[in-house]
């Protein structure tokens, strides 16, 4: 059996799809399981040599290029090349675990006998492209993904804890970057403004954690990234910024003792790797999108928060009412093993 997974991004979404695919790999080790993903998140699936614990082959969907220059020669070549590769793959079943029109089109490129998706995908038009639709089952997206893949593959699946690829250079880099233990990572980004706890409060939290003996790190993708820089400034030097790509972040998280952050990819990465997590939630519902993994997690969400996925820049009213002492208390309870 040859199975193709379509889950292009983002980081947290890929991580939330992996428990289902990991379970399928363990249940059917002889099957070929491949994946279509954005190049930014490929290292969550395979290392630079193309080897990974779950996926055989990764196809790269260069979505940033397509969005930036949709009619360019480069985009046309990229889309055309991917279409040719997928059609030549000879897949028995394709499972769209993303549910957008773009992901449905990509899955359709493979021309598989069975093309499966949710009956109620994120974008309704996507459902018209599936050959088979299954109702969404489960509350958390990890549970939903496992139910969809199980129905598509005809195999009973329960979400499995995930192993991520290792890059030797990244492991060596992270070993040098961790200057003291315990280390706490502050994932201060939020995807959009409504999900982002104020940088001033992250700065105050960093001061408290530093006083408790933590080496406080703020992760960043670029050295000029605004939010991490503002957190470091607000901390008065209690926090430091670490710049790394996805491979580096994975290696860094393996050496992390605590993460505090919002509903972001780095927070979900920490949970996947079993790092103790305090999640700060506002407009997104932690019952559906909360941290999932083998470690202990504590989620803070004010009762006044209303679930919404509108990408507005103004902070969610409820998230704005989560204060630093409440977060400090959650950290202390988590580290005492109270969850």
pLDDT of 17 above 70: yes
Q: Give every CB contact of residue 57 below 8 A, 6+ residues apart in sequence.
A: 32, 34, 35, 50
Q: Mark whether 181 and 84 lie in a shared domain.
A: no
Spatial distance between the Cα atoms of 280 and 220, rounded to a whole number of angstroms: 18
Q: Mark whether 193 and 302 lie in a shared domain.
A: yes
Half-sphere exposure of 26 (CA within 13 A, CB side): 14
Q: What pLDDT score was predicted for residue 338?
A: 77
Q: Mark whether 44 and 182 lie in a shared domain.
A: no
Q: Mark whether 26 and 96 lie in a shared domain.
A: yes
For residue 160, being part of any structural domain is answered with no
Domain boundary among 103, 122, 153: 153
Confidence category of residue 310, pLDDT binned at 50, 70, 90: confident
Domain boundary among 153, 177, 206: 153
Q: Mark whether 303 and 192 lie in a shared domain.
A: yes
Parent domain of 191: 168-335
For the chain, the first-to-last Cα distance in angstroms comes to 41
* Neighbour-count burial for 243-262, b at 16+ CB within 10 Å, e otherwise: bbebbbbbbbbbbbebbbbb
pLDDT tens digits, 210-259: 999 999 999 999 999 999 999 999 999 999 999 999 999 999 999 999 99
Q: What pLDDT score was predicted for residue 29?
A: 97
Q: Mark whether 270 and 326 lie in a shared domain.
A: yes
For residue 162, being part of any structural domain is answered with no
Q: Mark whether 312 and 255 lie in a shared domain.
A: yes
Domain boundary among 92, 119, 153: 153
pLDDT tens digits, 141-185: 999 999 999 999 999 999 999 999 999 999 999 999 998 999 999
Number of structural domains (the chain) is: 2
Q: Mark whether 238 and 307 lie in a shared domain.
A: yes
For residue 163, being part of any structural domain is answered with no
Confidence category of residue 186, pLDDT binned at 50, 70, 90: very high
Whether a cis peptide bond, with omega within 30° of 0, leads into 182 is yes
Q: Mark whether 126 and 172 lie in a shared domain.
A: no
Bridge partners of 132, per DSSP, are 116
pLDDT tens digits, 76-135: 999 999 999 999 999 999 999 999 999 999 999 999 999 999 999 999 999 999 999 999
Q: Give every CB contact of residue 120 below 8 A, 6+ residues apart in sequence.
A: 127, 135, 136
Q: Mark whether 145 and 172 lie in a shared domain.
A: no
pLDDT of 339 above 70: no
Q: Give every CB contact of residue 72 below 8 A, 6+ residues apart in sequence.
A: 65
pLDDT tens digits, 56-71: 999 999 999 999 999 9
């Amino acid at each position: 059996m040859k199975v193709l997974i379509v889950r292009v991004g983002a980081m947290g979404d890929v991580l939330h799809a992996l428990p289902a695919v990991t379970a399928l790999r363990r249940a059917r080790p002889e099957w070929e399981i491949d994946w279509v993903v954005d190049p930014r998140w490929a290292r969550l699936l395979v290392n630079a040599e193309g080897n990974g614990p779950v996926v055989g082959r990764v196809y790269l969907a260069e979505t940033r290029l397509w969005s930036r220059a949709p009619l360019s020669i480069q985009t046309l070549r990229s889309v055309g090349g991917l279409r040719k590769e997928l059609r030549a793959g000879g897949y028995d079943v394709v499972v769209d675990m993303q549910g957008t029109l773009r992901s449905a089109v990509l899955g359709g490129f493979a021309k598989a006998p069975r093309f499966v998706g949710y009956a109620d995908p994120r974008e309704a038009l996507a459902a018209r492209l599936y050959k088979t639709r299954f109702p969404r089952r489960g509350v958390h997206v990890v549970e939903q993904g496992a139910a969809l893949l199980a129905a598509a593959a005809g195999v009973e699946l329960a979400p499995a804890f995930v192993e991520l690829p290792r890059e030797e250079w990244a492991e060596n880099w992270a070993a040098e970057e961790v200057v003291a233990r315990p280390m706490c990572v502050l994932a201060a980004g939020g995807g959009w403004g409504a999900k982002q706890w104020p940088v001033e409060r992250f700065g105050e939290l960093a001061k408290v954690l530093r006083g408790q003996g933590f080496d406080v790190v703020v992760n960043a993708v670029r050295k000029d990234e605004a939010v991490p820089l503002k957190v470091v400034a607000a901390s008065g030097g209690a926090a430091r910024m670490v710049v790394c790509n996805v491979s580096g972040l994975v290696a860094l998280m393996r050496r992390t003792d605590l993460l505090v952050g919002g509903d972001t990819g780095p927070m979900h990465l920490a949970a996947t790797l079993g790092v103790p997590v305090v999640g700060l939630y506002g407009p997104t519902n932690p019952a559906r999108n909360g941290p999932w993994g083998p470690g202990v997690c504590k989620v803070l969400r004010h009762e006044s928060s209303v679930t919404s996925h509108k990408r507005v820049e103004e902070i969610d009213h409820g998230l704005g009412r989560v204060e630093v002492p409440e977060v400090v208390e959650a950290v202390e309870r988590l580290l005492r093993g109270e969850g």
